[in-house]
Structure 1
């Protein structure tokens, strides 16, 4: 073994760079897994503003290109990192759904420039708050972490169901042909996982999507009609819609959303840390949260929205077993290219939603399974079971019925309409109430290593009650 090979072998798998022949398809697989979710936020917000007369229909493709471009930059910042920015783990970044409702309200009342002003302000707020928020890591022992990861996976299942049915609200939603293609894609993925050589098994999602799309072509389920309409090259320019305006009420609303984003991102970072077996210390968590804030500021500058880690891709990391952060780095580069080449983005957009749905079932199920695996480290006393049960129940309420909090104030909805943040807060509070002795002893821990022991469940004073 050469000196270079020996040096690579001693690196943690997260820091190893796979050969390009493996890196490229693995990175593309991450892009395909997140693409539909990545473009959903600009489509929803932009569509609402078009209906309100605040934007022209021709502005929608621009919003999508800007979103992909900044998502790629955000992923590069998070996976590569520089100075005190970036968690340096295999995480993909995309626009958060938590901000959709308040952004539409802000846009309708004050216009799109007020959206971008509040987005920039919330990003700065996240960067300033990151070190403080990261110190709350001691409140995320395996009991809480596992529960949050489980909620993340379960709360994403309606997304998979919407894809599998052919797109929620579509005329042919739930048509047998859509569900058949979703099932066929899932079966293809499972067959590849079971019978293909390891190198191909790691690409099971990508191969499933490609094969499913090719088979769907003669059935008329693919739509590449928009490819010809898109330009080959387009650049997102800062403040394309005008210089941002700063409304106090809009900024306060988006800062509340920022707290939700930070809670969700914390759960995703801890989940990936568990999967790749690398410690996420408070300082490292702060770096990741600070990167989210920077990406959100860039989003406001380049005419897009707040950014967070994408839970969809957490499941892909678990499913493939590929831990290298450079796979996410490559995927981030692909997103930047898609943002600069709208025609290529339109090609990816042609993948049938039903095919994505089959892949989504596997991906999101793996996230939930990762949560179950983390909970396996916990001693399941009656109080711990109650924490899990109530937190999962509260977290899934807005998932199973999106109108449950419709009569509540907007500030309340911003927090609790996100099942992830609602479930996380419930798990934290119940853990402190029902396991108060262990929790109090954890809080007395001093420094980064004490927090690490609490999170990993190895501290002696938490062993009985927290695993």
Structure 2
């Protein structure tokens, strides 16, 4: 799942000097490095925090994140998140054969998989990453094969279903933001948990981000979450809560390590990743459609939809070989294209190269690990709140008949209930418990099945 931009999209900016309107709307036009470099970096700033946050959440749930004795595994995960976001973005913008939409799609680590990942790795340390590696590889290959059938499966995922799934993802993860703002799971049960200093840091992040989003313009607004985190970080440093020691010991260059975390098969993890890949494919279809219809001025072509979904799957599978988590297209960057008015895929290619460079320099990942968890909590609270808002926007397209209300209500109640009370599944096999306790997957399955079999099926809006 991606995070919607906090800034409200304004009318497309005036075209830069020397560019015609037709050139600005042409995905294949190269506007020159003077324009491509700053706009490419702006794309990276818009997605940077959302891209690395899943790695931090996974490491925290497993027990080798903030406060752990050995931060190297977390640093490696952050590096891989940046590196393979860049490489998968290059798959989208440059393309390899049928893989890639050849459109300005920015890829990043997906939030959608977290409700499945967290129960699998909770408290198990780095050892759990071997199962996630195998599941991401299998899920990525499944996703790539699924790309050949994207046109045939859309009927099963109307806004009633997709909106519900996105809402469940947000609701499942909101607790993480509050835990981080209060001091993190490692601090639970200690006087430090919930202390006023932590909430002050999270509050500065939230207030700064909202202020820039509502009252600033251009880059200041687009990168508001990142700048909000920097404001919280500055305050934390002034309070003496920042240690730069991890940066000093981190190497200057690090290459990806094949099967860095090992490889172990887990049926529940593989099934969960494959099912969430189905949802991720629909996200990419929506992003491609938005770029083509709103910015290029034409419907998305079949080869673009297939290529975008294939790049999701292939990128995820390749990244999994080196310990990266699943990738998906980022909707906030689609919104950024509407703001700038420039649809050049080469602009995004420049941003992707910058991400690849960041992914090869471990000192960047080490610097990120020095951010106090309470500061990160402020950003996470905002991001998951925006996920929920995006879900409500999707659900606004639903005709709320009694039929749809009953389907939605049952799926939501079952999903949230099983997540809140996982012990109710204690008599099921371990693999089934993990899948059902995620909340998202049982809600999605119930909604899809009921929408297909109950008379009066909700349709997918046609482009």
Could you say which TM-score interval applies, normalised by the shorter chain?
A: 0.7 to 0.9
Write the mapping of 1:78-93 to structure 2, written as runs, cut at 5 A: 78=92, 81-86=95-100, 88=103, 89-93=105-109
CA contact (8 A) 1:127 1:291 kept: yes
Write the mapping of 1:1-40 to structure 2, written as runs, cut at 5 A: 4-11=19-26, 19-40=36-57
Q: What residue is the counterpart of 1:462 in the other structure?
A: none
* CA-to-aligned-CA distance 1:276-329 (integer Å, 9 cap, x gap): 666678765543443233223323432x1551338xx54686699658677865
In structure 1, what is the Cα distance between the partners aligned to 2:391 and 2:406? 16
> In structure 1, which of residues 352, 369, 379 is the aligned counterpart of residue 389 of structure 2?
369
CA contact (8 A) 1:79 1:91 kept: no
Write the mapping of 1:28-427 to structure 2, written as runs, cut at 5 A: 28-41=45-58, 47=64, 61-62=75-76, 64-78=78-92, 81-86=95-100, 88=103, 89-94=105-110, 96-97=113-114, 98-99=116-117, 120-132=137-149, 135-170=152-187, 171=190, 172-239=192-259, 250=265, 252-269=267-284, 272=287, 284=304, 286-302=306-322, 304-309=323-328, 314=331, 322=339, 332-397=352-417, 399-401=419-421, 405=425, 407-427=427-447
In structure 1, what is the Cα distance between the partners aligned to 2:52 and 2:29? 23
- The normalised TM-score by structure 1 is 0.75
Return closer, same or farther for 1:100/1:384 CA change in 2, 3 Å cut-off. closer
Return closer, same or farther for 1:6/1:317 CA change in 2, 3 Å cut-off. closer
Task: Extract unaligned runs of 5+ from structure 1.
Answer: 440-453, 459-467
CA contact (8 A) 1:201 1:320 kept: no
CA contact (8 A) 2:51 2:82 kept: no
CA contact (8 A) 2:47 2:332 kept: no
* CA-to-aligned-CA distance 1:43-65 (integer Å, 9 cap, x gap): 656949xx9xxxx9866654554
Q: What residue is the counterpart of 2:8 in the other structure?
A: none
Return closer, same or farther for 1:155/1:346 CA change in 2, 3 Å cut-off. same
Return closer, same or farther for 1:147/1:112 CA change in 2, 3 Å cut-off. closer
Q: What residue is the counterpart of 2:460 in the other structure?
A: 455
Query: Larger deviation: 208-217 or 218-227?
Result: 218-227
In structure 2, what is the Cα distance between the partners aligned to 1:320 and 1:356? 27
- Aligned-pair Cα RMSD in Å: 4.2
Return closer, same or farther for 1:294/1:158 CA change in 2, 3 Å cut-off. same
Return closer, same or farther for 1:126/1:268 CA change in 2, 3 Å cut-off. closer
Cα drift, residue 72 of structure 1: 3.3
In structure 2, what is the Cα distance between the partners aligned to 1:32 and 1:186? 14
* CA-to-aligned-CA distance 1:247-266 (integer Å, 9 cap, x gap): 8xx27555413322313313
- The normalised TM-score by structure 2 is 0.75
Return closer, same or farther for 1:202/1:388 CA change in 2, 3 Å cut-off. same
Cα drift, residue 93 of structure 1: 2.8
Return closer, same or farther for 1:62/1:20 CA change in 2, 3 Å cut-off. closer
**Structure with more helix by fraction:** 1
Return closer, same or farther for 1:162/1:23 CA change in 2, 3 Å cut-off. farther
